[in-house]
Structure 1
Amino acid sequence: MPSVLLSLVTWNSADSVEACLRSALAQTYSDFEFWVVDNASADDTCARVEALSAADKRLKLHRLPQNTGFCGGHNYALDRTQSDYVLLVNPDVEMQPDYLAKAVAAMQRDEQIGTVCGLLVQSQEADPYIDSAGMTALPDGRYRLRLHRQRVSEAALEPGYVDGADGALPLFRRRFINDLRIEGHFFDPRFFAHKEDWDVAWRGRLYGWRTWFEPSCRALHPRQFLPANLRLRNRLASAIKTDAVKNQWLLLIKNTTPAQAPRLLLQAIPRQLAIMAYSVLFERSSLPAYRYIWQHWREAVESRKIIQARARRGWQPASGPTTPTQLSARPEPAAVVV
């Protein structure tokens, strides 16, 4: 069994997927299998993947009959593999050849490291802007990209522990993945897409896991989605904006500990009320997010109980329990494997 699974979820990704795949298949660390889980693309994404898989048997295409989002697609791969490590790969990422080798080496520093993230830059120019260098937790329950839009030459790029990893290219330890499962899922399928990396970072910190930033791991990632940018936000599909609003409430409900609640909610609630007012006045397409939270409140609270109970046990070393929490019996879509 290969030591690393590369998991890539595609949905109409034909414009970028070939460059992404070629950079992954050219990694100097070659002991991996590469799953591409396609969410019912309508373009020629699958044809492009198949063409490359014919020449490299490590690459396998799994076609899902419906769009399960970022969360569902990666959960599909995670639930069917057992590698020691998993590298999530966005279809618009291009890795330097030694990214995976250096990330795996960084993971060996400490068994408490559950995630390794690298330096993602926005262009191939000599001194590019930084896309992310991990994430920083904010006092109102949000996360922001570390060093985003700073020039590489101007940033303090030291390896070390950070609050979380951006979802574009994190390396996870398998034991970390299994420890964070809730009702069988690593990624909460209710998120579909957006802020699921915040959820994983927050839950991992609650359980005592750590995230290591390794700047020698470098990749290209020209980010497109920043929901706080109102000019860009106005051009986004309504479903994306609804997910962004909905998922922030799910984050707060599930992960806020009793000790955090007074300070965190004092800062989070005014912002969330302002977003609600903005939605009522200017972005009514986001209002279904509040209906969703109302309708699924009990399920979110049940998830909260599981998370908070696990958080109270603190860090669990390798000799502790490693089995997934409450495996789910919910059916998943069958895939066509190419």
Structure 2
Amino acid sequence: MANKVAVVILNYNGRNYLEQFLPNVLENSSPYQVIVADNASTDDSVHFLESQFPEIQLIKIPENLGYAGGYNYAFKYVEAEYYVLLNSDVETTKSWIEPVVELMDENTEIAACQPKIRSFHNKKYFEYAGAAGGYIDFLGYPFCRGRIFSTLEKDQGQYDDNRSVFWATGACLFVRAKDFHELGELDAEFFAHMEEIDFCWRAKNRGKQIYYCGKSTVYHVGGGTLNTESPFKTYLNFRNNWLLLYKNLSQKEFVKIKFKRTILDYIAFIQLTVVGKYSNAKSISKAHRDFRKMSKKYSQNEKEGFTHPEVFSRSIIIAYFLKGFKSFTKLKFTL
């Protein structure tokens, strides 16, 4: 018989994070199963786990398959009603699992759900990767309740609700196992970054719901695998955002925004060049080239993908940079 919940931590060279956070996860996740899937780490993560936590199920992935491929591989060896995809740099809280599971048990149309994500280093504030649930604007730029671009809101109880959102963060992602497999798992072509948005978008296009649960809280360090300044991270973010749009929009929708998005990416290229971040700027050019090659593998969505109510119908760039709307509530985004 399958377990109710399996918490799966995907690790890549995160020995220090495992030492720091794994005891906390084990303490707060009982009686549920905790599993570590190692993505072919080159540090001593595996030795550390085998010597210090021999009781934990360890899945050894033969090569680094990235976030998406790593979890797809791991879940071949996991039996549970709910999977919890948990980053190795996350500190959990007491009873962090139950509120989310109760919500998903009550509403079987919820395919994925996230808890409140607060910053580990500044615990009164939301954290960049997910905050209080993810949204997207009509040009495909993701943002969150509690975090728009680099501005993080202080958690003052303004997002303690349970709410339908557009996407849930991969830093701590509860997924109904049945839906995970029926929806085609995570797209391994993404490798890392935005694969959870792609999964959530595919789910919504199939009539499923994505939720945020404000009654559960975890604390995320962030940037534990790829530094925010990394040219590779820049490359993945730009390339995968184009793949995200190409896959989930109709051809008509994609053509409508393609020119505007290209211009905005060109502006980002110039900005990075001006400040001397030449490697990051080159990453944008490479992202565009590789997107054009990779897009041939995909067929575009037959239905329109921007029809969901969680899509912000205006530009988040204009709202933030020109109008000065730094918080979600100021957007007057009515759902």
- Answer yes or no: same fold by TM over 0.5: yes
| Residue 279 to residue 250, structure 1, CA distance change in 2 (3 Å) | farther
Residue 4 of structure 2 contacts residue 81 of structure 2 at CA under 8 Å; is this kept in 1? yes
Q: What's the offset of the Cα at 1:95?
A: 0.8
Which among 220, 230, 240 is matched to residue 233 of structure 2? Answer: 240
Residue 118 of structure 2 contacts residue 218 of structure 2 at CA under 8 Å; is this kept in 1? yes
Residue 114 of structure 1 contacts residue 172 of structure 1 at CA under 8 Å; is this kept in 2? yes
How many angstroms apart in 2 are the aligned matches of 1:310 and 1:140? 14
Residues 1:292 and 2:276 aligned together: no
RMSD across aligned C-alpha pairs, in angstroms?
Answer: 2.8
How many angstroms apart in 2 are the aligned matches of 1:154 and 1:266? 40
- Partner in structure 1 of residue 263 of structure 2: 270
| Residue 300 to residue 276, structure 1, CA distance change in 2 (3 Å) | farther
Q: What's the offset of the Cα at 1:205?
A: 1.4
- Partner in structure 2 of residue 6 of structure 1: 7
Residue 12 of structure 2 contacts residue 39 of structure 2 at CA under 8 Å; is this kept in 1? yes
Which among 224, 246, 251 is matched to residue 253 of structure 1? Answer: 246
Residue 98 of structure 1 contacts residue 217 of structure 1 at CA under 8 Å; is this kept in 2? yes
Letter in 1 for 2:27: A
| Residue 116 to residue 297, structure 1, CA distance change in 2 (3 Å) | closer
Residue 162 of structure 1 contacts residue 211 of structure 1 at CA under 8 Å; is this kept in 2? yes
SS, match of residue 291 in structure 1 = helix
Residue 84 of structure 1 contacts residue 174 of structure 1 at CA under 8 Å; is this kept in 2? yes
Alignment of 1:127-276 (within 5 A): 128-131=124-127, 132-148=131-147, 149-153=152-156, 155-181=158-184, 186-224=185-223, 235-236=229-230, 238-258=231-251, 260-261=253-254, 264-265=257-258, 267-275=260-268
Residue 10 of structure 2 contacts residue 36 of structure 2 at CA under 8 Å; is this kept in 1? yes
Gaps of 5+ in 2: 309-335
| Residues 102-124 of structure 1 deviation map (CA, whole Å, 9 limit, x = unaligned) | 21111112111111211111137
Residue 9 of structure 1 contacts residue 91 of structure 1 at CA under 8 Å; is this kept in 2? yes
Residues 1:80 and 2:81 aligned together: no
Letter in 2 for 1:45: S
- Partner in structure 2 of residue 102 of structure 1: 99
Residue 120 of structure 1 contacts residue 133 of structure 1 at CA under 8 Å; is this kept in 2? yes
Letter in 1 for 2:50: E
Letter in 2 for 1:116: C
Residue 87 of structure 2 contacts residue 172 of structure 2 at CA under 8 Å; is this kept in 1? yes
Q: What's the offset of the Cα at 1:159?
A: 1.8
Q: TM-score, normalization: structure 1?
A: 0.77
| Residue 153 to residue 310, structure 1, CA distance change in 2 (3 Å) | closer
Letter in 2 for 1:117: Q
- Partner in structure 2 of residue 322 of structure 1: none
How many angstroms apart in 2 are the aligned matches of 1:96 and 1:154? 17
- Partner in structure 2 of residue 61 of structure 1: 58
How many angstroms apart in 1 are the aligned matches of 2:210 and 2:6? 19
Letter in 2 for 1:255: N
Gaps of 5+ in 1: 315-338
Q: TM-score, normalization: structure 2?
A: 0.78
How many angstroms apart in 2 are the aligned matches of 1:19 and 1:152? 24
Letter in 2 for 1:109: E
Residue 253 of structure 2 contacts residue 304 of structure 2 at CA under 8 Å; is this kept in 1? no
- Partner in structure 1 of residue 328 of structure 2: none
Letter in 2 for 1:6: V
Mean Cα displacement is larger for which, 189-198 or 149-158? 149-158
Q: What's the offset of the Cα at 1:128?
A: 1.0
The percentage of aligned residue pairs carrying the same residue is 22
Residue 119 of structure 1 contacts residue 217 of structure 1 at CA under 8 Å; is this kept in 2? yes
Residue 133 of structure 1 contacts residue 145 of structure 1 at CA under 8 Å; is this kept in 2? yes
| Residue 249 to residue 96, structure 1, CA distance change in 2 (3 Å) | same
How many angstroms apart in 2 are the aligned matches of 1:310 and 1:217? 33
Residue 23 of structure 1 contacts residue 97 of structure 1 at CA under 8 Å; is this kept in 2? no
SS, match of residue 170 in structure 1 = strand
How many angstroms apart in 2 are the aligned matches of 1:296 and 1:261? 16
How many angstroms apart in 2 are the aligned matches of 1:163 and 1:296? 25
How many angstroms apart in 2 are the aligned matches of 1:113 and 1:218? 19
Q: Which runs of 4+ in 1 moved over 3 A?
A: 258-270, 272-282, 307-311
Residues 1:92 and 2:89 aligned together: yes
Residue 126 of structure 2 contacts residue 153 of structure 2 at CA under 8 Å; is this kept in 1? yes
Q: What's the offset of the Cα at 1:163?
A: 1.5
How many angstroms apart in 1 are the aligned matches of 2:103 and 2:121? 24
